[in-house]
Structure 1
Amino acid sequence: MMERAESGQKLYTSMRLWEFPDQYIIEPTDGSSSSPLSISRIDASMNLIDGVPESNSLRVPKILTIFGVIGMLKLVAGSYLIVIAERERAGSYLGHPIFKVTSLKIFPCDHSLKNSPAEQKRLETEFSRLLNIAESTSGLYFSYDTNLTLSAQRLHDLGDESKLLPLWRQAEPRFLWNNYMLEVLIENKLDPFLLPVVQGSFQNFQAAIGKDIIDVTLFARRCTRRNGTRMWRRGADSDGYVANFVESEQIVQMNGFMASFVQVRGSIPFLWEQIVDLTYKPKFEIVRPEEAPRVLERHFLDLRKKYGTVLAIDLVNKVCTIFHMQSI
């Protein structure tokens, strides 16, 4: 039977961001009657306040409705607040609404940069330009009510106490896209603002089979470790974590029953490299082959720990090879 795993800590679903000359104020507007959050534009320090400061003709703030706080990102000298400016309903996951981020907004907290050395200013300018690309990051999904970083089976296996924890504490770090950016908010114990976000793809649809309605969900979670473009991020590291690891889940629900199928994929779990050239199939070379058995063992031990019995499929060559690994 389908179970609903709900957090005991409710997240703010709608907020108003006030942009004052010296600070940003994030005011919950979802009826929670909670204290606004003040973030300094000088040093990015945070604290809860009693209310939004009064404005006047000399202090007229810009106001933006936001739907979540991604977190804070610190560069060389300044910090940057990243929020969700627009969202759209993407479907339902285990009975909970899922949203897709359609627009991010970045707010600098870099007034202290004025007193920084010239080299720091140059680097900050260069990095902040790259940061602007993040506003168009695709494939970001979130839920205010349930943990999207865990598969249906792992969500089902959570203990009752764990289900009452804030969503960020339940989250699987591998698939928590904004893990690093949440650290400052975690340090300040701002649980209602801590919105876990995953990157990947999500699709949910319904279809009729005779008189029955079947609900199908396809969810791919991209791991945050060793990400990069396919041609330049290859193989595994010394701990067995492979490049561009993705967990894909198919969930089928009908008449109150649910079935979930999970598969994972990633780069070949060795230390290897490949020189990209104009050939159709560039050759790859295993680096430090004496370490290959240890790296491979670590990779599959980690998979077995997280997923149980592993059925591995080798897609390197034209002939498909299948390995059934119950122990290693």
Structure 2
Amino acid sequence: MIPLYQRFNLYPDHDTYTFVPEGTDARNLTVHRSSGDITLNEAAPPASARRSSKVIYGIVGIISLTLSDYLIVITGRELLSRLMGHDIYLATNFEILPLNPNINVDHPPHIVETNFLGLIRAHFSGGNFMFSYTWDLTTRLQVQNIRAAESEGKALWELADTRFFWNRFIQTSLIDSALTSSAPEAWAPYILPIVYGTFDLRPVFLHGRHMQICLISRRSRFRAGTRYFRRGIDNEGNVANYNETEQLLLVEGTTASGPESKYSAKYSFTQIRGSVPMFWSEINTLKYKPDLQIMELPQTGDALRRHLSAQVKTYGTVRMVNLINQKGHEKPVKDAYERFISELDMPEVQYEYFDFHAECRKMRWDRISLLLDRIKDDLEKQGYFACRDNDSVVQEQSGVVRTNCMDNLDRTNVVQATIAKWTLNKQLTELGILEPGASVDNYEAFSKDFREMWADHADAISAAYGGSGALKSDFTRTNKRTRKGALEDGVKSVTRYLKNNFFDGTKQDGFDLVTGAWVPRKNPAASMALVLDHRPLIIRSMPAIASFSFFMILAGLTLPRSSDYSLFYYFLLWVAIFAVSMVFIVIHGIEYVAWPRLNPLTDIIYYSGPGFRSAHNGKGWAGASQLKARKPKWVSNGKVLVDEVEMGSLKKRLD
């Protein structure tokens, strides 16, 4: 594999950006600002270019907005750890460089450009982006070992798993330049893949053996987004919140002659998670429990088959573990999921249902062992990747467990951590470090590191998708469910509610812009609708009326009074105004959710075809009366049983 350049000096001037690698006499990379062309040059930077005071640690890519293209570069990094002799970094600072010399990124000349630049900044400052110059962080150890011979002389970006190559879309210009070049290997050191995920490596010591345990999660760039704005599957078979999680166990030998040869054994165990693979969503209405929408589309079966075929091709046999409740709000998702799975004829795919909340109620979290007992045979057959001295392969992982709950966060985290611990115990027993039947839980220091790794991993995935740390993380950290943990979960739930309803729209737009799910036109006027509020005046004014009336109520508490009834009518007036405005806001709740604007969800919100709808909250008086008039039910014969709701001002606003 061709290693990447690790540091650049940047020489900007009016016509070019020139990147000069430090410590090498390789050709410079020049981006021509007027044309956007990218070239490799032997010549020194132009005399008019002065060296930037900032060191560049990597080129993330080039993104095209309405007024200019922009270079995104890494200007800050933090060394996370050293994995098998390879440095793993976290990107801590990014900078956006305009190609148009007339554009100031801090004060763009148009509000649309300002909005888009804000989305990009928020995306890169709010994510967890990791990279390595010498190690393919996108690809699990087993695949790297299999293709070790063919990796020689290849570029890192060519080897990267495209699912987890987060900046693949904005690296298109550099990759195209490499592909059309007569010497593509000269471009390879400039193209840096970054991963959106987590990385944690900890040294551990047990029974006289030094080991390292590492946890890596990789988030897919396909159907990426936030909790309520990216659910289910798309026509290509990509599912929301898809993450691959790899647990590595590296056992050090008694001698060490090099950075990689010191390991007497290397183990890798991979799990995946992803949204329920059918067309469904939850529609925010300002109520704590959103409306559940399941769309029974003709292409559901094909999309499901496409998704599972991709998993089988990538990992081998797939054991699907479904943790959704079999009662209440989640039941229709479970029923629909199982109906589509039952119609699927794929012997490589096995389905397992486990009602997590029912089985583990009253904090009986030890009952997860019931699930383990049911899938243990599959775990034994699928195995894990193992190699010994000189990288001789002992066994390969021939399948994967795919776990999901409603959000693929909290319950999924607990189950994946439990499966990972079972596998770790098996690996340590195989090595003779643990006695048969023993567990890492018997060794507090080791167990604590393991639990904290999985809890931190869970928090990071949950924050990226749901807006807060993971629920139930007290169990992951301590092996116990506590009342304090339940209280903390309440705070996290409130945080999720606020972010999911009022902040995730712009966050989703950032995902769509950076991953290429939406591409802007070269005309800011054509995108003005994305920054303007087209809602009727009465809709826009209600929050202001509610806020002012609440202020007047508080102000009334400070006013002097001659008797207990002197301000009765004053309070009656403002309390009535406040109550009416709040009722209005709740009834029209959909109008007050911060929806994504680049890829609006109008077709999902107002879907009226076959499927299931739990309610029609937040759609105004018509929607509320519909909800009272009829109970939602499945539509299996293709006939629409629920009248279509007028899209009204929301459709205008989103379109």
What is the TM-score normalised by the length of structure 2? Answer: 0.45
What whole-Å deviation, never above 9, does each CA across 1:257-286 have from its counterpart, x for those lacking one? Answer: 011111111111001122234555545232
Q: Partners of 1:258 and 1:62 in 2: how far apart?
A: 43
Asked if 1:13 is matched to 2:21, the reply is no
- Please tell me whether the aligned partners of residues 96 and 143 of structure 1 are also in contact (alpha carbons under 8 angstroms): yes
Q: What residue is the counterpart of 1:25 in the other structure?
A: 18
| Matched residue SS, 2:46 | coil
Q: What residue is the counterpart of 2:31 in the other structure?
A: 39
Question: How far did 1:152 drift?
Answer: 0.8
Question: How far did 1:158 drift?
Answer: 1.1
One-letter code aligned to 1:181: I
One-letter code aligned to 1:83: V
After TM superposition, the structure 1 stretch with the greater mean CA deviation from structure 2, 127-136 or 236-245, is 127-136
One of 205, 212, 224 as aligned partner of 2:209: 212
One of 219, 224, 249 as aligned partner of 2:221: 224
Q: What residue is the counterpart of 1:117 in the other structure?
A: none
What is the TM-score normalised by the length of structure 1? Answer: 0.87
What whole-Å deviation, never above 9, does each CA across 1:105-138 have from its counterpart, x for those lacking one? Answer: 1101123779xxxxx9553343223223244142
Question: How far did 1:156 drift?
Answer: 1.1
Q: Partners of 2:63 and 2:70 in 1: how far apart?
A: 5
What whole-Å deviation, never above 9, does each CA across 1:151-194 have from its counterpart, x for those lacking one? Answer: 11111111512343100000111000110111111122222101
What whole-Å deviation, never above 9, does each CA across 1:58-80 have from its counterpart, x for those lacking one? Answer: x6553321111111111123111
| Matched residue SS, 1:63 | coil
Asked if 1:242 is matched to 2:239, the reply is yes
What whole-Å deviation, never above 9, does each CA across 1:197-245 have from its counterpart, x for those lacking one? Answer: 1110100110110211110110000000011110111100122210110
Q: Partners of 1:180 and 1:282 in 2: how far apart?
A: 33
Shift of the 46–213 alpha-carbon distance from structure 1 to 2, 3 Å rule, reads same
Question: How far did 1:37 drift?
Answer: 1.7
Unaligned runs of 5+ in 2: 179-186, 253-263, 327-354, 357-370, 383-398, 400-655
Q: Partners of 2:292 and 2:271 in 1: how far apart?
A: 25
- Please tell me whether the aligned partners of residues 76 and 92 of structure 2 are also in contact (alpha carbons under 8 angstroms): yes
Q: Partners of 2:221 and 2:198 in 1: how far apart?
A: 14
Structure 1 vs Structure 2 CA RMSD: 2.4
Greater fraction helix: 2
Q: Partners of 1:287 and 1:151 in 2: how far apart?
A: 35
Shift of the 218–60 alpha-carbon distance from structure 1 to 2, 3 Å rule, reads closer
- Please tell me whether the aligned partners of residues 80 and 106 of structure 1 are also in contact (alpha carbons under 8 angstroms): yes
Shift of the 45–112 alpha-carbon distance from structure 1 to 2, 3 Å rule, reads farther
Taking the TM superposition and a 5 Å limit, the aligned residue runs for 1:110-125 are 110-111=100-101, 123-125=112-114
- Please tell me whether the aligned partners of residues 164 and 218 of structure 2 are also in contact (alpha carbons under 8 angstroms): yes
Q: Which runs of 4+ in 1 moved over 6 A?
A: 321-326
Q: Partners of 1:75 and 1:65 in 2: how far apart?
A: 25
- Please tell me whether the aligned partners of residues 280 and 295 of structure 2 are also in contact (alpha carbons under 8 angstroms): yes
After TM superposition, the structure 1 stretch with the greater mean CA deviation from structure 2, 125-134 or 62-71, is 125-134
One of 252, 263, 272 as aligned partner of 2:271: 263
One-letter code aligned to 2:316: G
| Matched residue SS, 2:54 | strand
Taking the TM superposition and a 5 Å limit, the aligned residue runs for 1:33-72 are 33-49=25-41, 50-55=43-48, 60=50, 62-72=52-62
One of 309, 313, 323 as aligned partner of 1:305: 313
- Please tell me whether the aligned partners of residues 200 and 215 of structure 2 are also in contact (alpha carbons under 8 angstroms): yes
- Please tell me whether the aligned partners of residues 22 and 41 of structure 1 are also in contact (alpha carbons under 8 angstroms): yes
Unaligned runs of 5+ in 1: 1-6, 115-119
Q: What residue is the counterpart of 2:68 in the other structure?
A: 78
One-letter code aligned to 1:92: R
| Matched residue SS, 1:181 | coil
One-letter code aligned to 1:46: I
Q: What residue is the counterpart of 1:287 in the other structure?
A: 295
One-letter code aligned to 1:96: H
- Identity, % of aligned positions: 32
Aligned length: 310
Q: Partners of 1:278 and 1:127 in 2: how far apart?
A: 26
Asked if 1:153 is matched to 2:142, the reply is yes
After TM superposition, the structure 1 stretch with the greater mean CA deviation from structure 2, 250-259 or 59-68, is 59-68
- Please tell me whether the aligned partners of residues 9 and 51 of structure 2 are also in contact (alpha carbons under 8 angstroms): no
Question: How far did 1:91 drift?
Answer: 1.1
After TM superposition, the structure 1 stretch with the greater mean CA deviation from structure 2, 134-143 or 201-210, is 134-143
One-letter code aligned to 2:231: R
One of 78, 87, 105 as aligned partner of 1:97: 87
- Please tell me whether the aligned partners of residues 9 and 52 of structure 2 are also in contact (alpha carbons under 8 angstroms): no
